[in-house]
């Protein structure tokens, strides 16, 4: 302790006191950062919900202009060999006329990834059509497709006059064991994407969205409504028509 000219006492921090302060700051940061990450993710989910709603409105407007018929869910390869997150060129080009931009075809958490990835896809993949960051459930033929697990099957709406509670769009909680890719657009701290060598365990390639840490996803119905669905409320369905278990699996 030292006394200055003014008589005031000055006391320096000891090393132990400094370490205690640093420790308290670290604890506070550890408590606050997850909460901030979750708050950001909740904002992204709201943004995603809005994009899904706009995408759904584009589908409805298309149906209104085409005698209530929904856009085709077929791929460019075949009307039978179709996959939920793939739009044929005709459907993609038609729907973009009803939206302000192609980014609405993607969950905001995945938009940059899919837009950049399109040109880098293999010729075989590009032949199928345009991969979007949502699952499009409308205009697919021969549903219900055979279940991949249990008895979970789904019906594809064909017209706007079909049952209004049918799912027409959903977040891309998808995985493909054959392509070693898995997507979870909404984890607790943001999106999770795994592909190829990203998996630390080769046996985990094609792990489900739930196993990646998905918290849930937005689901859009034929009546135009969109709602959040928690991962524990979701079921697993076939996302590729003619492919076996190596094709697309999806949760909604």
Question: What is the value of pTM for the model shown?
Answer: 0.82
Report how far residue 87's alpha carbon sits from residue 167's, in angstroms, rounded to the nearest whole number.
16
Whether 104 and 54 have beta carbons less than 8 Å apart is answered as: yes
Give the residue extent of every domain in the chain. Answer: 37-251
Whether 164 and 223 have beta carbons less than 8 Å apart is answered as: yes
Reduced to 3 states (helix: H, G, I; strand: E, B; else coil), residue 174 is strand
Strand (E) or helix (H) holding 52: helix 15-65
Q: Tens-of-pLDDT digits for all 252 residues of the chain? A: 444 555 555 666 677 767 777 777 777 666 655 555 667 878 888 989 999 999 999 999 999 999 999 999 999 988 888 999 999 999 989 998 898 777 788 888 887 777 776 665 667 778 888 888 899 999 999 999 999 888 899 999 999 999 999 999 999 999 998 888 899 999 988 888 887 666 666 566 778 999 999 999 999 999 999 999 999 999 999 999 988 888 999 999
Q: What is the biggest distance separating any 2 CA atoms in the chain, rounded to whole angstroms?
A: 92
Reduced to 3 states (helix: H, G, I; strand: E, B; else coil), residue 26 is helix
DSSP state of 216: E
Residue 118 vs residues 14, 60, 112, 126, 250: alpha-carbon distances, Å:
58, 26, 10, 8, 21
Residue among 180, 213, 212 at smallest CA distance from 195: 180
Strand positions, DSSP E, the chain: 2-3, 9-10, 86-87, 130-131, 134-136, 167-171, 173-176, 181-187, 190-195, 216-221, 226-230, 236-238, 249-251
Beta strands 167-171 and 134-136 are antiparallel
For 243, other C-beta atoms within 10 Å of its C-beta total 15
Taken in order 197, 198, 201, 206, the sign of the CA dihedral is negative
Q: What pLDDT score was predicted for residue 1?
A: 46
């Amino acid at each position: 302790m030292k006394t200055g000219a003014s008589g005031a006492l000055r006391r320096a921090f000891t090393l132990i006191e400094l370490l205690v302060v640093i420790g308290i700051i670290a604890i506070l940061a550890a408590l606050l950062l997850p909460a901030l990450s979750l708050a950001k993710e909740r904002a992204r989910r709201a943004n995603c919900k809005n994009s899904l709603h706009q995408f759904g409105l584009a589908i409805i407007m298309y149906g209104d202009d085409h005698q209530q018929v929904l856009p085709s869910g077929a791929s460019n390869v075949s009307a039978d060999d179709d996959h939920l997150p793939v739009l044929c060129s005709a459907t993609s080009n038609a729907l973009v006329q009803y939206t302000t931009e192609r980014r609405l075809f993607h969950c905001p958490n995945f938009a940059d990834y899919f837009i950049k990835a399109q040109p880098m896809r293999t010729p075989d993949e590009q032949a199928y059509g345009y991969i979007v960051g949502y699952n499009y459930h409308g205009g697919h033929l021969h549903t219900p497709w055979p279940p991949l697990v249990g008895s979970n099957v789904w019906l594809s709406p064909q017209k706007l006059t079909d049952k209004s509670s049918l799912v027409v769009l959903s977040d891309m909680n998808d995985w493909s064991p054959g392509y070693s890719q898995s997507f979870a657009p909404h984890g607790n701290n943001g999106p999770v994407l795994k592909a190829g060598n990203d998996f630390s365990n080769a046996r985990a390639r094609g792990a489900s969205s739930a196993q990646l840490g998905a918290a849930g996803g937005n689901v859009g119905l034929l009546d135009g409504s969109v709602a959040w669905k928690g991962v524990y409320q979701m079921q697993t369905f076939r996302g590729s028509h003619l492919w076996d278990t190596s094709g697309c699996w999806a949760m909604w």
